[in-house]
Structure 1
Amino acid sequence: MPRTDTMRLRPLSPGDEHVYAGWALDEEFRVANGWPERDRDGHLRHWRRLIEAPPPELIRLAVEVDEEVVGYADLHGLAPDTRELGIAIGPSSRWGQGLGQRAIKTALTYGFSVLDLTRIWAETHETNTRAKKLFDATGFIETGRHGTDTYRGEDVSLVQYAVERPY
């Protein structure tokens, strides 16, 4: 069967927790994404809660390529016209294949067309060069540098980005 390489977003569903909990065993992925150290059962419980009863401010969608889960995209917030975007591609062996850039573009399309957002913003750590390159490559504009957070064991500055809905 020929490979179509089709990316899509879909709601999280039962069974996805096994994929995401498996990524927690990938130390590079876990550390880069700030996931806590837990045993596999702890990660399974966490993901089951998100699937069964997501918080009202979080839209978390599975990112699939040819029906295989390769990540997730978050659109977070309660404002009617603005949300914060976050993505994760896993496991780390999938990094560097263009999936992050495609996931961001797909999430932007979803946010602007399905949710009718006018602005999508994102934030990353100053030292996260991979994320900064992704935001630059997908049309985000740096809007500020406010706050600090721990990333890979260091206290670093946060960089904010935004993109407006194209008209």
Structure 2
Amino acid sequence: MLKQIAAKGVDTAFVTLHVGAGTFQPVRVDNIQEHNMHSEWLNVPPETVAAIDATRDRGGRVICVGTTALRAIETAARANPKAAAQRRIGTYQGDTRLFLYPGQPVYVVDALLTNFHLPQSTLLMLVSALAGRERILAAYAHAIRSGFRFFSYGDAMFIPVHHPIAPAGAEQSHAV
């Protein structure tokens, strides 16, 4: 599949995030801001930073495949606020406890390809942060009516991220 994507002119880059069990635990607090993520180790190498920079330079979009990739990229953005202000990142190697939920900003990523996640999970809250709770609930209602499969080996969805100010050329097909 990666060869087919590359043949269409889409660049790819890689990150590492060692997923902890906390990612899949349900949120058990009434106030979402009180939920604590377990620490997870990640690495965003220089090659990935260069690929994102090149994508931004040509007006392309940064599209993550999987919530772990998104959390790694957004952690790297938060570690370098100056770069994040330009919708870019710096290299990063270390731990993250990043928990994205509605109201939390997404600095670098323009879209996410992910599966349908379980109720009350941090992953469902992450996708709600990207598209808004109502849009995600509508997508899930459609998925249930249509018999889509959920969780890790289920069907997938493409979620464009709503940014207050869209970058120039965001419609272009290049992605990382």
| TM-score between the two structures when normalised by the length of structure 2 | 0.29
| TM-score between the two structures when normalised by the length of structure 1 | 0.30
Counting strand residues as a fraction of each chain, which structure ranks higher?
1
